[in-house]
Amino acid sequence: MAKTSDLDRVTAIVLRFMRAPILVLVAVYAIALIGMVLMPGRDAAGNPAHMSFFHAFYFLTYTATTTGFGELPHPFTDAQRVWAIICLYISVVAWLYAVASIIGLVRNPHFIQAVAERRFARGVRRIAEPFFIVCGFGDTGSLLTRGLDDAGRSAVVIDRDPERIKALALRDYRKTVPGLCADASAPSHLIAAGVKSPRCEAVVALTQDDEINVKIAVMARLLNPSVRVVCLSTSLLRGEYLETIGSVDKVNPFDTFAKWLSTALYAPLLHTLTDWLSGARGVTLHNPLCPPMGTWILCGYGRMGQRLRKSLRAHGVHTVIIDPDMEGAEDLPDEEKVLGYTNRETLRAAGIEQAAGVVAATDSDSDNLGIMLTARSLNRKVCIIVRQNHHENQLAFNAADADLIMQPSLVTARSILFLLLSPLIQPFLDYLRQHHATLLVDVIRELRETLADSPPYLWTTWITEAHAPAVAMLQAQGHVITVQDIMRDPLDRERRLACVPLALQQGGNTIMKPEYKKDLRPGDEILFCGTPHAQRVMDAALNNRYTLQYLVTGLQEPRGYLMRRLAHRRPQRDAVPLQR
């Protein structure tokens, strides 16, 4: 239906703009054709003759291309030459009018948009694998699309800013990412993006307008009730409204970042593990951040500053706020707020000399970098955390002398990426945060020993007949298959693949850090962290009954007909392990 509608729209626009020029050309050539037929001429013998319709049409055709082949079928009379001159001038004027109309059509914004939508819808239909719809290609949407592409997943982008769509075309993605400059909240654009396609896994609303994000979530839910919807929302009221819709994953960037900063300050091991799992540049499991304890100065008391203070106060940290406009801080004690812009005087008034740390959390990157330089000049030992609002300023922040750079768009994109690709990772991290510090240390140690310096790679393995047919076959034969069995190396079953199981979803329950001898059941989901090579080897074993049977039993079953007949004549003890 979308294809027909797009084609009808393009055709309607073309006919609307080209109707008059086409009618003019038809009328001019019809009059010229009839005139050439009626004009008296003479044959080679001097007898009166008239051109046929075919000869007249042929003459007008080659003169329209400015190519001359002579006067056919006989030399023209003066009357025919006069009429030919009139036809040439009239047709030139008609063609100039038609060409000008074509140029106007090509430059018409409605025609450009209609062609772009048709090309976009055709590109989406060509995607033969599961894909995600990203609505909004700002910093967060750009980082999320890059993360999806790095993970080998396809994405479709809609954004209202034409410059962002032009930037999308210049990105060096490994997969083709169709982009459309349009309002993502319009149902027709969501349909063109493939929201009704069975291959559409999720719709992610990441525009800068909460109202538009909510509208996208509502439209996506109505157009495809089974599709997953992730909505970015900074408003508490709209967040409560999304709860009434149902099946919508809400992401508040301020709450997400406040939680991230709180983890960085008071659970440095977990913060390091989270950043390492998300592929943060320069993060290793060997050097976790260890921020100092004491008073922290928050420069900026907007929505993010308020959530940062709430998170810090929940851990019993004393904070001092610096902001020129203390809106929303009426209930704070006077000793906890300093009115004014952040400079040397206000930092000294906030106690920079004795402070443990400073958080530059304004919505201006230049102000945040200036705060960092001023704070560093007043206290060389203070821990400084700087907020980066725009990704294009990355080089300046890399050169800054900050202990930690907080980029809300990056933190939000990683959180959504976890939610889409590895839904079990967030419950696993929350479990480590709330309950088990000892388990956290053991997990970090095992990951460090297993992967060494290799970058982490997360994937989810489904124990279903579609994703693991070999497991289903062996379980139907009565074999008990454990987590350890699918982690064996086919080249040496006594050796484990370079991966660590983090979580197991079984029968509605989530088992964190499952034991290697844990039995697997149909429908289980297992979250692994390892290397891409380990995933490829594991997937191959899960789809090959002979390989998996060797991993489980240590015996290689004959595969060919002749070898199976010979095997039946041998005692069972003669079965030999797979040669290494």
pLDDT in tens, 422-476: 888 888 888 888 766 788 888 888 998 898 878 888 889 999 988 899 999 998 8
pLDDT above 90 as % of the chain: 26
412 and 294 share one domain: yes
Give the confidence band of 407 by pLDDT, cuts at 50, 70, 90.
confident
90 and 238 share one domain: no
Straight-line distance from the first to the last Cα atom of the chain, in angstroms, rounded to the nearest whole number: 57
Give the confidence band of 525 by pLDDT, cuts at 50, 70, 90.
very high
CB 225 within 8 A of CB 199: no
Asked if residue 557 has pLDDT above 80, the reply is: no
As a whole number, the mean pLDDT across the chain is: 84
Q: How many domains does the chain have?
A: 4
411 and 440 share one domain: no
469 and 405 share one domain: no
CB 249 within 8 A of CB 230: yes
Encoded tokens for 479: 């074999």
Give the confidence band of 326 by pLDDT, cuts at 50, 70, 90.
confident
The domain boundary residue, chosen from 398, 421, 444: 421
Asked if residue 134 has pLDDT above 90, the reply is: yes
Asked if residue 236 has pLDDT above 80, the reply is: no
Encoded tokens for 77: 């009379």
Quote the pTM value: 0.75
Please compute the mean of the pLDDT values over residues 124-144 and round it to a whole number.
91
Question: Which CATH number goes with the domain that contains 41?
Answer: 1.10.287.70
468 and 565 share one domain: yes
pLDDT digits (tens, 9 = 90+) for 145-176: 998 998 888 999 999 999 999 888 888 898 88
233 and 262 share one domain: no
> What is the spatial distance between Cα 217 and Cα 10, in angstroms, rounded to a whole number?
29
- The answer, yes or no, to whether the previous bond of 73 is cis (omega within 30 of 0) is yes
> What is the spatial distance between Cα 336 and Cα 298, in angstroms, rounded to a whole number?
10
CA 161, 231, 407 angle in degrees (round to 5)?
Answer: 70
pLDDT confidence of residue 560: 55
**Residue numbers of the domain that contains 327:** 255-421
